[in-house]
């Protein structure tokens, strides 16, 4: 579990690439501007992905946090904010 508050955007992006492999998304398809729709994820998939990312970083992502999240970059912002709030 990564708990360091200096986790970089690149590290979180790599985590998303690893976790999205479970949704049959190729790592080279995942960039900060990739939308979940284009990646083939529906809202339930995004919730499942957020649970996986919570486990990696030891954070809690609420449903409200995901309300306006449409891209990987938006999701990275949420993860960074949650890590910051935790410390």
Catalytic residue among 42, 45, 55, 64, which? 42
* Catalytic status, residue 60: no
Within its chain, how far is the Cα of 16 from the centroid?
5
In 3D space, the residue among 15, 5, 19, 21 whose CA is nearest the CA of residue 81 turns out to be 5
Q: Read off φ and ψ for residue 35, nearest 5 degrees.
A: -90, 150
Instruction: Note whether 39 and 54 are within 8 A (CB).
Output: no
Enumerate the active-site residues.
Answer: 42
């Amino acid at each position: 579990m990564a708990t360091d508050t200096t986790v970089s955007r690149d590290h979180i992006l790599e985590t998303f690439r690893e976790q999205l492999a479970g949704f049959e998304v190729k790592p080279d398809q995942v960039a900060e501007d990739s939308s979940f729709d284009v990646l083939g994820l529906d809202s339930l998939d995004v919730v499942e992905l957020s649970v996986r990312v919570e486990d990696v970083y030891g954070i809690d992502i609420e449903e409200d946090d995901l309300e306006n999240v449409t891209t990987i970059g938006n999701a990275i912002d949420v993860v960074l904010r949650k890590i910051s709030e935790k410390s």
